[in-house]
Amino acid sequence: MSADPHIRAERLQRPGVAFMTQLPLLIGLVVLWVVLWGHLDVISAVTGIIFSLLVVRMFSLPPVLLSGRIHVWYTIVLLAKFFWWLIGSTFQMAWLAMRPKAVPQASILAVRMRVHSDWLLTLTAEINMLVPGSVVVEVDRLRSILYLHVLDADTDEKIQRARLAAEQIEDAIVVALGNHEDIALINDDRRLHDRPLLFASREQQSYEVLREADRKARQAEWEAEL
């Protein structure tokens, strides 16, 4: 079971933990600085580190809480699926550009994601952006909604297919990088729609049983107070 949010927040306030949460951002800024310089040497590396530290310290950004879980096999599967989506969508866009018909009608779809993690929502939005044929025009972070501009979405069937494609991207990311609670949220939605569970390992099942028992206990306490 995932740690209590208050405990996690206290841990993030400690200097060592705070630095570890900022380390991926620091590394990314250093890499970006070196790329902008166009070559790697001592001066570019040192100035990149100094620049990154100044950015992180001067601009107080809220910490992005990672899930704390990574499944190596499903991460490899996620990468394979990404390249498959990329290739398939590229051929689809090429066909739409070359076919002797009018330009297909596009639609803007509001797709509600099942998870509420900023980290996973950002990854889902990025992959939707990178796969040709769909562009994320807006993200409603509070309600976990992605607004997608989708080409060739002039029928209800094509719109539903685009929604399912966005959900499949979310599923692949969650099973690879999500924690037990993220997977449980996906499983809740799948049960509601009579679909197979996303991930049903023994550990995940135990977590969801305890989660449901805790939910019922809280509901009983709330009803007793009334």
**Per-residue pLDDT band at 1 (split at 50, 70, 90):** very low
Q: Is 38 found in the same domain as 102?
A: no
115 and 162 part of one domain? yes
For residue 67, being part of any structural domain is answered with no
Q: Same domain for 217 and 111?
A: yes
Q: Could you tell me the two tokens for 153?
A: 């979405």
Residue 136 within a domain: yes
Contact call for residues 41 and 31 (beta carbons, < 8 A): no
Q: Please, what is the average pLDDT of the chain?
A: 83
* Residue 115 and residue 39 share a domain: no
82 and 169 share one domain: yes
Residue 78, token pair as written in the block: 């996620």
User: For residue 31, what pLDDT band results from cuts at 50, 70 and 90?
Assistant: confident
Instruction: Give DSSP secondary structure letters for 78-92.
Output: HHHHHHHHHHHHHHH
Higher pLDDT, 18 or 16: 18
Res. 38 pLDDT band, cuts 50 70 90: confident
Regarding whether 182 and 81 lie in a shared domain, the answer is: yes
pLDDT tens track for 164-203: 999 999 999 999 998 999 999 999 999 999 999 998 889 9
Q: Give the range of the structural domain holding residue 184, as residue numbers without chain letter.
A: 72-223
Mean pLDDT for 101-129 is 88
Residue 9 has pLDDT above 80, yes or no: no
Q: Is the pLDDT of residue 97 over 50?
A: yes
Distance, in Å, from the CA atom of 19 to the CA atom of 21, rounded to the nearest integer, reads: 5
Kindly indicate the confidence band of residue 223, based on its pLDDT and cuts at 50, 70 and 90: confident
Q: Are 167 and 111 in contact (CB under 8 A)?
A: yes
Q: Which 3 state secondary structure label does DSSP give 194?
A: coil
Nearest to 14 by CA among 53, 59, 63, 50: 63
For residue 66, is it within any domain? no
* Per-residue pLDDT at 60: 64
Are residues 200 and 114 part of one domain?
yes
- 38 and 92, same structural domain? no
Q: Which of 7-16, 81-90, 211-220 has the lowest mean pLDDT?
A: 7-16
Encoded tokens for 8: 């996690």
Structural contact between residues 154 and 107, judged by C-beta atoms closer than 8 angstroms: yes
Are 51 and 111 in a shared domain?
no
- Do 31 and 105 reside in the same domain of the chain? no
The SS3 call for residue 69 is coil
Phi, psi of 62 (to 5 degrees): -65, 140
13 and 84 in a single domain? The answer is: no
Q: Which residues contact 126 (CB under 8 A, 6 or more apart)?
A: none
* DSSP-based three-state secondary structure for 197: coil
Q: In this predicted structure, what is the pLDDT of residue 65? A: 61
What's the residue count for the chain?
Answer: 226
* Within-domain flag for 63: no
Q: Could you tell me which residue, 68 or 175, shows the higher pLDDT? A: 175
Domains contained in the chain, number: 2
pLDDT, average across residues 33-61: 83
Per-residue pLDDT, 13: 42
DSSP strand E in 39-183: where?
107-112, 134-140, 145-150
* Orientation of helix 72-98 relative to helix 118-130, angle to 10°: 30
Say yes or no: 114 and 35 in one domain: no
